[in-house]
Every structure is written in C-alpha cells, then in structure tokens.
Amino acid sequence: MPYRAAVEDYNFLFDHVVKLDAVRGTDKFEDATDDVIRAILEEAGKLCNEVLAPLQRPGDLDPARLENGVVRTSNGYADGFKAIADGGWIGISADPEYGGMGLPLSLASAVNEMMSGACLSLQLAPLMSQGQIEALEHHASDAIKDLYLPKLISGEWTGTMNLTEPQAGSDVGALASKAEDNGDGTFSISGQKIYISWGDNDFAENVCHLVLARLPGAPAGTKGISLFLVPKILPNDDGTLGKANSLKVVSLEHKMGLHGSPTCVMQYDQATGWLVGPEQGGMAAMFTMMNNARLGVGEQGIGVAEGAYQHALAYALDRKQGKTSTADGTGSIVDHADVRRMLMTMKADTFAARAIALSCAVAIDMTNATGEADWKSRAAFLTPIAKAFGTDTGIAVSETGVQVHGGMGVIEETGAAQYCRDVRVTAIYEGTNGIQAMDLVARKMMDGGDAAYRLLDEIEADAEAAREAFPNMADAVWQASETLREATEWLVSQTDLDNRFAGAVPYLRAFARVLGAHLHLKAALADKGGAREKLARFYILRLLPEHVGLLTHAQAGKADLFAMTADELAV
C-alpha cells in the first residue's frame, strides 16, 4: 500500500478535538477559514503522496555524499525540494510581508507531519529553514529581515542552526566557538560545529547558518553566548550573491538512519557573520527557533509512526499464515488477536500523539494571536510533552511495525526497518527526551503547577460531561486525572530537584497517557458508534491504565537510583 497522508484525520481533529475555531476566531488568523484549511491539507496531501513518498527508499539506498567539499544530495531530492518550495510550503506560517502565507502554526504542523511520514530525510530541510525564519522574524534587524527572509521563504536559500560542538553536547554553554567584532557591523566567526542537519546541499543558491559563538570578554556559560547569521556565500546589498564565505563542510556523519539527510561537521575560519539579537542574547534568540522546532520534531515522530503503521497494516492484510477463528475474516494475519493488538496500539497511540501535538500548536497560535498569559503557559507546558511523546511514539510504532512483519521486518528490502532507523534520532535532537521531561517537572512547574492543574481541571470537566454517553470511559479518564493531580502535587512539593528528575520521564509519559485519553474521549463523542469511538475505547480501557505504574515510579524519589556506587554499577 502506498503512503497516504492523514488528511481526514487532521480535518476531524481540527473540527472536533482541538477545535481550530478559537484560532480562526482571532483577528490574526481570520483568513484561515474552513475552506482554506481543507484545501491546503488536500494539496499538501497530494504533494506527500505523489512527490515525496516515492523518495523515501531511494534516499536511504542512495545517501547524501561529500564530493570535493560539496554535498551531493540523493537522486530526486532536488526536484522534491523544488516542489515543496514552489508550493509555498516553507513559508506556510511565515509573515506575509516577506512572502509567507501567515497561516496558523497548527496548519503548518499538520503539513510538516504529513511530509515527515512521506520522507523524513527530505522534510528536515524545510523544517530547518522554518525555524530560522521564525528566529529572524523575532530577533533580526530590519536589514537582515529584508534581505534574508524572502529568500528563505521562497526556498531559494535554505537555513540551518549550529549549536552542538564536539566537547559540548546538550551543555551548550560549554561551546568554544569565538566571534570578533570587525568594526564594520560584521563579525568574524571561528569554530567547529557538529550534527548540523542539512548543513549543505546542491539545490539551493545559498545556505544560511545560525551560529552560536562567544564574544571576547563574555561571561562563561549560556549567558555569554551570542547568535550570528553566517551565509555560505556572502550576499550583496541587492540580494545577489558575491564571494564564498570562509566556512566548509569537513565531513558527513555516518548515521544509522536518515541517510538522505546530510548531517555535517562544519568548520568556520573567521567567517563573516551578522549579529542576530543583542550581544549575549544568543540563547534567547535560539530558543525561539528551538521551541517550535521541538514541536516540529514531535511531529516528525508522529509522521514516521503513521508511515510505519500504514506499512505494517498493508503487510498484515496481505500476509497469510496460520488459522484464525475470526468470522468473515480476511484469511491474513490481521485476523490474529496479537497482530490486531499491535495494530490497534499503533493506531491509537499515533492518534493520541497527533492530538497532543496539535493541542500544543493551537496553544502557540492562541499565544501569538492574543498574547494571553494562560495560553502562553499552556503552550510552554505542552511543548516538552508533545516532543517527547511524539518521538517516543514514532520509535515504538516503527519497532512494532517490524514485529508485525515478523522475520521479514529485519529484511531491509521490505522497508520496515528504515522507519526504525530514521526515527530513532528524534528522541535525541532538539533536547533529548530526558531533558524534555526534566524541563517539564522543573522549569514548567515554577508556577507551582498552575498550568498543569488548569489542564487537569479541563480534562475532568470534559470527563464529567461525557459520563452520560460513555460512563465507563469517562470515569476512567476522570480517575486517571485525579491520580495525576496527586502526583503533580507531590512533585511540586519536592525542593530537591533530583527527586523530581528521578521520575521525570515516567511522569511525562503518564501525563501524555492521560492527555491522550482525554482527547480520544472527545473524538468518541464526535463519532458515537463509529471507528473513532472503538479506537478510544481500546486506548482508554487498555493503554490508559499504564499511568498507574508510571506515576508510582514518578514518586519514588532519587534514593534507590543513587544507592549503588559507580563501581557497583560496573559489577
């Protein structure tokens, strides 16, 4: 079965679950009518199905390569990127003043997820540009905006972000890259960066790098970091291209997956760059890019989950093995109870993760449209959950997809293993999922848990309203929310952060489980007696109970984690 973008799922979610009406009701997004949303999803779906999905396997088999200092991309990728750029998909939520569509991030998130399911390696290229566009919109000077944004939005130029260095992984404050003021409005940037997704390509006129570096005399740590825009080719004032900048791709990383996406080691040798934002304001500017990139990475995991599920389902419907007692069955392995369990779990978790990510996107849109503090805190709270649960779901669903295939799952020709290899890194980049969980239980609870409690209040109110229609499901969701509330109260009471961090990952997953059940319940109410009610019943009665064990783990504290010495760990 060829890949099919989940257009109808998004239409349903926007109409009945995450309620895009609130976003469309703002002045900022009043042009995002129902007709516009549906037309854009339909066109994006066609692009994914017909242009991008056919590039999935070729990119894996024909990886990007470095030849004489130039990155050569996989066969077909140049045409695929051109189709993305020509359709205006890079600038779907960018400022119309510079050529963007100005549509909600919710819609951009849906499109990005569909592209990820079609061909994740290629989708990374426009995602990097989108993040840079947003950072420049918020922090760059008018001169930089006027010169760079139209080119990035059109896809003539592409963007990257350069954070990581060999000695500084997640500890960005340990970076060693240096910047020196040239006295003419430019700076000289020197240093090496690693893990730079799409650090170069052979289809864009220019590649624009956002680079973190430290000016002389700046304090140590993250507070002393500044952000610079460093193009591969120096542009003239009129936007035409001048001479090459003093930077290069040293090598490409040899990765377990995402072979079509060149991950570069970049070297800057007194390369010319321009300051973005104030001096020593680099992390604030970069976080503008990273926060929405975290949601984007969560969407990548969900997209891969969708692709892996469709791949596994097609195999299960075709593969005949063993006997089943299913009346009017297909005669294929989809009639086996355990195969059905796997497929239902894959489908239910993918829907839950998708609905959580869209809820986060809606909160971001409402923040941008209204500036209201409650929306801002909700968006901040949901971001680490959307990123971690989205990518964990992508990994789990793709691994289950291999299991559905049985022995054929580990045979590369079937394509099932590629989903596992491609998606695995999403739990690591843009902040590992452990870091997301630590952020959730620490920084995101500096409000005393208020954002969490407001979400729980909403979940319980909706569960109460659903009791007449679905008493068993509604009671299960309500009770789970209360258990989660008690665990949240315990976490907030812990002054030793290690007690929070020790259970941060299970707490985040438990919160995602309860949120997923809440959103499945809303879907069931909108589709009584239909497939979505049946899927919600499976999720709520079979998967939601996992939260009990997770929350027990979350409240266990740190003592047993540190009971063994480092030497004892090695025994």
- Please identify which of the residues 113, 306, 399, 430 carries the catalytic annotation: 430
Q: How far apart are CA 510 and CA 483, in angstroms?
A: 10
Distances (CA, A) of 417 to 49, 59, 188, 401, 413: 20, 14, 44, 8, 9
Among the listed residues 279, 282, 274, the one whose alpha carbon sits nearest the alpha carbon of residue 186: 274
Q: How far apart are CA 533 and CA 539, in angstroms?
A: 10
CA angle 76, 80, 83 (to 5 degrees): 145
Q: Are 401 and 409 in contact (CB under 8 A)?
A: yes
The full DSSP string for 396-436 is HHHHHHHHHHGGGGGSGGGSHHHHHHHHGGGGTTTS-HHHH
Q: How far apart are CA 372 and CA 24, in angstroms?
A: 16
Q: Which two three-digit tokens encode residue 35? A: 């007709």
Among the listed residues 5, 17, 6, 7, the one whose alpha carbon sits nearest the alpha carbon of residue 358: 17
Q: How far apart are CA 152 and CA 372, in angstroms?
A: 30
- 134 given a catalytic annotation: no
Among the listed residues 322, 471, 419, 443, the one whose alpha carbon sits nearest the alpha carbon of residue 57: 419
Q: How far apart are CA 296 and CA 287, in angstroms?
A: 13
- Which residues does the annotation mark as catalytic? 430
